[in-house]
Amino acid sequence: MRVAVPVFPGSNCDHDALHACGTVMGWDTIPVWHQETRLPENTELVFVPGGFSYGDYLRCGAIAALAPIMADVKRHADNGGLVLGVCNGFQILCEAQLLPGALLRNESLRFIHANVHLRVERADLPFTRAMKAGEVFQVPIAHAEGNFTLDPADLADLEARGGVAFRYCSPAGEIGEDHVPNGAMNGIAGIVNVQGNVLGMMPHPERAVDPRLGPTGGLGMFRSLAEAFSRA
């Protein structure tokens, strides 16, 4: 299993991604500088990490979406390769039009860091196959722009095709505005493309995988990926 982690100026969760995929999961995990034009050969998963790529200039993720490496990330995605974007990585995937929607400033205007609960809406994806639909897991968030937005018609399409992978919820799995930390429409925390190979999410599963560092709610996603690859 080979994982590529694109690194942009201002990425700051690249090491979390390298730690989760490399140290914890034992996958062959390679950081790739944004100026590179090719992903390492036989890359199976591209993990677009969080941070503040290019200082969030213009719009979060807008400049990173144009970085040279992103052309090859798009090619990888078009060929069915897996792409996971977390936090700023999610914003980058939206700006690169690999995923629909945009992440606006949190409703509160504040940077939020907290442990939140997510409900699995899709358990049939390579990212979630070891989890169950309706399962609740706890992962941290840390963002100022996580307010997922889409125009009403596209939002209805996204919901109708099952494009929502994760929703914010209560510890018991209840959905509702009270449990949405950032104002995201329909409580959306993570979405997936039509083909099911590109997933973006604001919460950080890669920060919840090592028992030495705290809760391990993110492991379900990494176990899912391990399972997906062992069967590939």
| Residues of span 175-204 touching another protein by CB under 8 A | 183
Binding mask 69-108 vs another protein (x if CB under 8 A, - otherwise)?
-------------------------xx----xxx-xxxxx
Contacts of 89 (CB under 8 A, 6+ apart): 13, 47, 48, 49, 50, 200
What's the min distance (Å) between Cβ of 35 and another protein?
18
How far is it between the farthest Cα atoms of the chain? 45
Q: Counting beta carbons within 10 angstroms of the beta carbon of residue 123, is it exposed (0 to 12), middle (13 to 18) or buried (19 or more)? A: middle
Please name the helix (run of DSSP H) or strand (run of DSSP E) that holds residue 168, with its range, or none. Answer: strand 164-169
- Which listed residue (87, 121, 169, 179) is catalytic? 87
Is-catalytic flag, 121?
A: no
Rg of the chain's alpha carbons, rounded to an integer? Answer: 16
Q: Does 10 bind another protein (CB under 8 A)?
A: no
Using CB under 8 A as the binding rule, the residues of this chain from 129 to 158 that contact another protein are 147, 149-151, 154
Which one among 20, 48, 62, 192 touches another protein, defined by CB under 8 A?
62
Q: Residue 2 is which amino acid?
A: R
Residue numbers annotated as active site: 87, 204, 206
Q: Which residues of the shown chain bind another protein in the complex (CB under 8 A)?
A: 58-59, 62, 66, 94-95, 100-102, 104-109, 147, 149-151, 154, 183
